[in-house]
Amino acid sequence: MLANLHWMDLLVLAIGFVIIIAIGVISARRSKSAEGYFLAGRSLPGWLVGFSVMATIVSSMTFLSNPAFTYEHDWRHMPANCTYLLAAIVALLLFVPFYRKLRVNSIYEYLEHRFGTWARLYAAGCYVLLKTAKMGIVLYITSLALQIIVGRSVPLEMVMLVFGIVVAAYTIAGGLEAVIWTDLLQGIALIGGGLICMPIIASQVPGGFAEIIDVAWRQGKFDVGNTDLTLLKVTLWATILAKFMSFCQLLGTDQTAGQRYAAASSDREARKAVILGCLLTIPV
Protein backbone atom coordinates (compact mmCIF):
# COMPACT_ATOMS: atom_id res chain seq x y z
CA MET A 1 0.00 0.00 0.00
CA LEU A 2 2.88 2.38 0.83
CA ALA A 3 5.44 0.77 -1.46
CA ASN A 4 6.82 4.15 -2.60
CA LEU A 5 7.87 5.09 0.92
CA HIS A 6 11.09 4.09 2.64
CA TRP A 7 10.90 3.32 6.35
CA MET A 8 12.67 6.62 7.04
CA ASP A 9 9.95 8.45 5.09
CA LEU A 10 7.30 6.79 7.22
CA LEU A 11 9.25 7.71 10.36
CA VAL A 12 9.39 11.38 9.34
CA LEU A 13 5.65 11.37 8.59
CA ALA A 14 4.91 9.71 11.93
CA ILE A 15 7.04 12.22 13.83
CA GLY A 16 5.35 15.08 12.00
CA PHE A 17 1.89 13.77 12.87
CA VAL A 18 2.86 13.31 16.53
CA ILE A 19 4.25 16.85 16.77
CA ILE A 20 1.18 18.36 15.13
CA ILE A 21 -1.19 16.44 17.42
CA ALA A 22 0.91 17.41 20.46
CA ILE A 23 0.72 21.08 19.44
CA GLY A 24 -3.06 20.78 19.19
CA VAL A 25 -3.39 19.12 22.61
CA ILE A 26 -1.08 21.58 24.41
CA SER A 27 -2.74 24.58 22.78
CA ALA A 28 -6.20 23.25 23.67
CA ARG A 29 -5.21 23.03 27.36
CA ARG A 30 -3.95 26.63 27.28
CA SER A 31 -7.04 28.08 25.55
CA LYS A 32 -9.28 28.93 28.50
CA SER A 33 -11.33 31.70 26.90
CA ALA A 34 -12.72 32.85 23.57
CA GLU A 35 -9.85 35.33 23.23
CA GLY A 36 -7.36 32.58 24.05
CA TYR A 37 -8.90 30.26 21.46
CA PHE A 38 -9.39 32.71 18.60
CA LEU A 39 -6.49 35.12 19.24
CA ALA A 40 -4.00 33.06 21.29
CA GLY A 41 -4.53 35.47 24.17
CA ARG A 42 -3.03 38.35 22.16
CA SER A 43 0.38 37.23 23.41
CA LEU A 44 2.39 35.94 20.43
CA PRO A 45 5.78 37.36 19.35
CA GLY A 46 6.10 39.09 16.00
CA TRP A 47 8.59 36.63 14.53
CA LEU A 48 6.20 33.74 15.11
CA VAL A 49 3.20 35.57 13.68
CA GLY A 50 5.31 36.66 10.70
CA PHE A 51 6.20 33.07 9.93
CA SER A 52 2.52 32.19 10.13
CA VAL A 53 1.63 35.01 7.73
CA MET A 54 4.13 33.61 5.23
CA ALA A 55 2.86 30.06 5.61
CA THR A 56 -0.71 31.28 5.16
CA ILE A 57 0.03 33.14 1.93
CA VAL A 58 2.44 30.58 0.47
CA SER A 59 0.12 27.62 0.80
CA SER A 60 0.77 24.12 -0.47
CA MET A 61 -1.23 25.03 -3.56
CA THR A 62 1.05 28.01 -4.27
CA PHE A 63 4.15 25.89 -3.69
CA LEU A 64 2.93 23.37 -6.27
CA SER A 65 1.10 25.55 -8.80
CA ASN A 66 3.59 28.38 -9.33
CA PRO A 67 6.47 26.11 -10.44
CA ALA A 68 4.04 24.09 -12.57
CA PHE A 69 2.80 27.25 -14.28
CA THR A 70 6.36 28.42 -14.93
CA TYR A 71 7.31 25.02 -16.33
CA GLU A 72 4.38 25.13 -18.74
CA HIS A 73 4.38 28.86 -19.54
CA ASP A 74 6.73 31.53 -18.16
CA TRP A 75 7.73 33.60 -15.14
CA ARG A 76 4.97 36.21 -15.38
CA HIS A 77 3.90 35.63 -11.79
CA MET A 78 7.33 36.57 -10.42
CA PRO A 79 7.10 40.39 -10.84
CA ALA A 80 3.41 40.19 -9.90
CA ASN A 81 4.26 38.40 -6.64
CA CYS A 82 6.65 41.23 -5.76
CA THR A 83 3.64 43.55 -5.41
CA TYR A 84 3.22 41.87 -2.03
CA LEU A 85 5.75 44.45 -0.84
CA LEU A 86 3.41 47.31 -1.80
CA ALA A 87 0.44 45.55 -0.19
CA ALA A 88 2.48 45.05 2.99
CA ILE A 89 3.20 48.79 3.12
CA VAL A 90 -0.53 49.50 2.82
CA ALA A 91 -1.19 47.01 5.63
CA LEU A 92 1.47 48.58 7.87
CA LEU A 93 0.17 52.11 7.38
CA LEU A 94 -3.56 51.41 7.38
CA PHE A 95 -4.87 48.02 8.42
CA VAL A 96 -2.54 46.96 11.25
CA PRO A 97 -3.05 50.10 13.39
CA PHE A 98 -6.77 50.10 12.55
CA TYR A 99 -7.44 46.55 13.69
CA ARG A 100 -5.12 46.82 16.67
CA LYS A 101 -6.97 49.92 17.85
CA LEU A 102 -10.37 48.23 17.54
CA ARG A 103 -9.33 45.20 19.64
CA VAL A 104 -11.99 42.99 18.07
CA ASN A 105 -12.00 39.20 17.91
CA SER A 106 -13.09 39.26 14.27
CA ILE A 107 -12.50 41.97 11.67
CA TYR A 108 -16.16 41.62 10.73
CA GLU A 109 -17.16 42.96 14.13
CA TYR A 110 -16.26 46.41 12.81
CA LEU A 111 -18.83 46.04 10.04
CA GLU A 112 -21.49 45.40 12.65
CA HIS A 113 -20.48 48.51 14.61
CA ARG A 114 -20.39 50.60 11.43
CA PHE A 115 -23.31 49.28 9.37
CA GLY A 116 -25.29 46.83 11.50
CA THR A 117 -25.65 43.10 12.07
CA TRP A 118 -26.65 42.37 8.47
CA ALA A 119 -23.25 43.63 7.19
CA ARG A 120 -21.34 41.42 9.60
CA LEU A 121 -23.39 38.33 8.76
CA TYR A 122 -23.12 38.98 5.02
CA ALA A 123 -19.34 39.52 5.03
CA ALA A 124 -18.63 36.66 7.43
CA GLY A 125 -20.89 34.30 5.48
CA CYS A 126 -19.18 35.15 2.18
CA TYR A 127 -15.79 34.66 3.86
CA VAL A 128 -16.76 31.21 5.13
CA LEU A 129 -18.03 30.17 1.69
CA LEU A 130 -14.87 31.48 0.00
CA LYS A 131 -12.53 29.72 2.42
CA THR A 132 -14.51 26.50 2.24
CA ALA A 133 -14.10 26.46 -1.53
CA LYS A 134 -10.41 27.41 -1.29
CA MET A 135 -9.66 24.75 1.32
CA GLY A 136 -11.32 22.17 -0.90
CA ILE A 137 -9.04 23.12 -3.78
CA VAL A 138 -5.93 23.21 -1.58
CA LEU A 139 -6.72 19.83 -0.05
CA TYR A 140 -7.43 18.31 -3.46
CA ILE A 141 -4.25 19.59 -5.13
CA THR A 142 -2.06 18.67 -2.15
CA SER A 143 -3.61 15.21 -1.99
CA LEU A 144 -2.78 14.65 -5.66
CA ALA A 145 0.90 15.11 -4.80
CA LEU A 146 0.60 13.01 -1.65
CA GLN A 147 -1.05 10.20 -3.59
CA ILE A 148 2.01 9.97 -5.83
CA ILE A 149 4.20 9.71 -2.73
CA VAL A 150 2.20 7.05 -0.90
CA GLY A 151 1.31 5.15 -4.07
CA ARG A 152 -1.60 5.32 -6.49
CA SER A 153 -3.01 2.15 -4.98
CA VAL A 154 -4.25 4.37 -2.15
CA PRO A 155 -7.54 6.02 -3.30
CA LEU A 156 -7.37 9.79 -3.59
CA GLU A 157 -10.51 10.08 -1.47
CA MET A 158 -8.73 8.22 1.35
CA VAL A 159 -5.71 10.54 1.19
CA MET A 160 -7.97 13.60 1.33
CA LEU A 161 -10.01 12.15 4.18
CA VAL A 162 -7.02 11.24 6.37
CA PHE A 163 -5.15 14.50 5.96
CA GLY A 164 -8.34 16.54 6.15
CA ILE A 165 -9.24 14.94 9.48
CA VAL A 166 -5.73 15.49 10.89
CA VAL A 167 -5.70 19.17 9.90
CA ALA A 168 -9.24 19.74 11.19
CA ALA A 169 -8.45 17.95 14.47
CA TYR A 170 -5.52 20.08 15.60
CA THR A 171 -7.13 23.27 14.29
CA ILE A 172 -10.45 22.75 16.07
CA ALA A 173 -8.82 21.50 19.26
CA GLY A 174 -6.04 24.07 19.65
CA GLY A 175 -7.43 27.20 18.05
CA LEU A 176 -5.24 29.92 16.55
CA GLU A 177 -2.23 29.15 18.73
CA ALA A 178 -2.10 25.59 17.37
CA VAL A 179 -2.48 26.89 13.81
CA ILE A 180 0.35 29.41 14.17
CA TRP A 181 2.82 26.98 15.78
CA THR A 182 1.99 24.41 13.12
CA ASP A 183 2.49 27.10 10.47
CA LEU A 184 6.00 27.59 11.86
CA LEU A 185 6.73 23.87 11.61
CA GLN A 186 5.33 23.63 8.09
CA GLY A 187 7.04 26.84 6.98
CA ILE A 188 10.43 25.53 8.10
CA ALA A 189 9.75 22.23 6.31
CA LEU A 190 8.66 24.07 3.16
CA ILE A 191 11.68 26.38 2.99
CA GLY A 192 14.17 23.79 4.23
CA GLY A 193 12.84 21.12 1.91
CA GLY A 194 13.18 23.42 -1.08
CA LEU A 195 16.74 24.42 -0.17
CA ILE A 196 17.72 20.77 0.33
CA CYS A 197 16.09 19.54 -2.89
CA MET A 198 17.53 22.21 -5.20
CA PRO A 199 21.20 21.12 -5.05
CA ILE A 200 20.21 17.44 -5.13
CA ILE A 201 18.15 17.95 -8.29
CA ALA A 202 20.86 20.11 -9.89
CA SER A 203 23.51 17.48 -9.18
CA GLN A 204 21.50 14.87 -11.11
CA VAL A 205 21.26 17.00 -14.26
CA PRO A 206 24.19 16.88 -16.72
CA GLY A 207 25.73 20.33 -16.55
CA GLY A 208 24.23 21.05 -13.15
CA PHE A 209 22.40 24.20 -12.14
CA ALA A 210 23.98 26.25 -14.95
CA GLU A 211 22.50 23.87 -17.51
CA ILE A 212 19.06 24.18 -15.92
CA ILE A 213 19.24 27.98 -16.14
CA ASP A 214 20.53 27.83 -19.73
CA VAL A 215 17.76 25.51 -20.93
CA ALA A 216 15.09 27.51 -19.10
CA TRP A 217 16.40 30.74 -20.65
CA ARG A 218 16.43 29.32 -24.17
CA GLN A 219 12.90 27.96 -23.72
CA GLY A 220 11.59 31.35 -22.59
CA LYS A 221 10.76 30.30 -19.04
CA PHE A 222 12.14 33.59 -17.66
CA ASP A 223 9.87 35.66 -19.89
CA VAL A 224 7.33 37.78 -18.01
CA GLY A 225 4.47 37.36 -20.45
CA ASN A 226 2.73 39.76 -22.78
CA THR A 227 3.66 43.40 -22.09
CA ASP A 228 1.25 44.98 -24.59
CA LEU A 229 -1.03 47.75 -23.36
CA THR A 230 -4.27 46.00 -24.23
CA LEU A 231 -7.40 44.77 -22.50
CA LEU A 232 -7.89 41.95 -24.99
CA LYS A 233 -5.21 39.62 -23.60
CA VAL A 234 -3.88 38.39 -20.28
CA THR A 235 -0.88 40.72 -20.03
CA LEU A 236 1.83 41.21 -17.42
CA TRP A 237 0.12 44.43 -16.30
CA ALA A 238 -3.18 42.66 -15.74
CA THR A 239 -1.42 39.98 -13.71
CA ILE A 240 0.39 42.59 -11.61
CA LEU A 241 -2.82 44.52 -10.93
CA ALA A 242 -4.74 41.35 -10.06
CA LYS A 243 -2.01 40.14 -7.69
CA PHE A 244 -1.71 43.53 -6.01
CA MET A 245 -5.46 43.73 -5.41
CA SER A 246 -5.46 40.14 -4.17
CA PHE A 247 -2.64 40.84 -1.71
CA CYS A 248 -4.36 44.01 -0.48
CA GLN A 249 -7.54 42.01 0.10
CA LEU A 250 -5.61 39.28 1.87
CA LEU A 251 -3.65 41.61 4.15
CA GLY A 252 -6.47 44.07 4.69
CA THR A 253 -9.92 42.49 4.68
CA ASP A 254 -9.24 38.80 5.26
CA GLN A 255 -9.86 37.32 8.69
CA THR A 256 -6.74 35.13 8.48
CA ALA A 257 -4.55 38.26 8.39
CA GLY A 258 -6.60 40.40 10.75
CA GLN A 259 -6.70 37.58 13.28
CA ARG A 260 -2.91 37.38 13.22
CA TYR A 261 -2.47 41.12 13.68
CA ALA A 262 -4.66 40.88 16.76
CA ALA A 263 -2.77 37.86 18.10
CA ALA A 264 0.52 39.75 18.32
CA SER A 265 1.47 40.86 21.82
CA SER A 266 1.86 44.54 20.90
CA ASP A 267 1.55 47.01 18.03
CA ARG A 268 5.29 46.80 17.51
CA GLU A 269 5.17 43.01 17.29
CA ALA A 270 2.27 43.19 14.83
CA ARG A 271 4.27 45.49 12.56
CA LYS A 272 7.27 43.20 12.90
CA ALA A 273 5.07 40.27 11.83
CA VAL A 274 4.00 42.02 8.62
CA ILE A 275 7.60 42.97 7.76
CA LEU A 276 8.96 39.49 8.44
CA GLY A 277 6.10 37.88 6.55
CA CYS A 278 6.91 40.07 3.55
CA LEU A 279 10.66 39.34 3.72
CA LEU A 280 9.92 35.59 3.80
CA THR A 281 7.06 35.43 1.30
CA ILE A 282 8.64 37.12 -1.72
CA PRO A 283 11.84 34.98 -1.82
CA VAL A 284 9.87 31.78 -1.22
70: in domain? yes
Q: Which domain holds residue 154?
A: 7-281
CA geometry: angle 99, 103, 109, nearest 5 deg: 75
**Whole-number percent of the chain with pLDDT over 90:** 37
Hey, what amino acid is at 154? V
Give the global pTM. Answer: 0.84
Q: Check residue 34 and give its pLDDT.
A: 81
Dist CA 237 CA 224 (whole Å): 10
DSSP 108: H
Q: Check residue 83 and give its pLDDT.
A: 93
205: in domain? yes
2: in domain? no
Chain-centroid distance, C-alpha 124: 20
Dist CA 247 CA 257 (whole Å): 11
Band of residue 97 on the pLDDT scale cut at 50, 70, 90: very high
Dist CA 104 CA 262 (whole Å): 8
Q: Check residue 1 and give its pLDDT.
A: 53
Band of residue 55 on the pLDDT scale cut at 50, 70, 90: confident
CA geometry: angle 27, 274, 92, nearest 5 deg: 130
Alpha helices in 116-155 (DSSP H): 117-150
123: in domain? yes
1: in domain? no
104: in domain? yes
Asked if the model's pLDDT at residue 254 lies above 60, the reply is: yes
197, 48 Cβ separation under 8 angstroms: no
Give the residue from 172, 144, 42 showing the smallest Cα distance to 102. 42
- Domain tally for the chain? 1
Q: Check residue 124 and give its pLDDT.
A: 92
Dist CA 22 CA 71 (whole Å): 38
97: in domain? yes
Chain-centroid distance, C-alpha 248: 15
Q: Check residue 4 and give its pLDDT.
A: 67
| Percent composition of the chain: helix, strand, coil (DSSP 3-state, to 5) | 80, 0, 20
Band of residue 282 on the pLDDT scale cut at 50, 70, 90: confident
**Whole-number percent of the chain with pLDDT over 70:** 99
Q: Check residue 187 and give its pLDDT.
A: 86
Mean pLDDT confidence for 25-51:
87
154: helix, strand or coil: coil
129: in domain? yes
Q: Give 187-246 pLDDT, tens digit per residue.
A: 888 888 889 989 999 999 999 999 999 999 999 999 988 899 888 888 999 999 999 999
Q: What is the DSSP string of 44-80?
A: B-HHHHHHHHHHHHS-HHHHHHHHHHHHHS-STHHHH
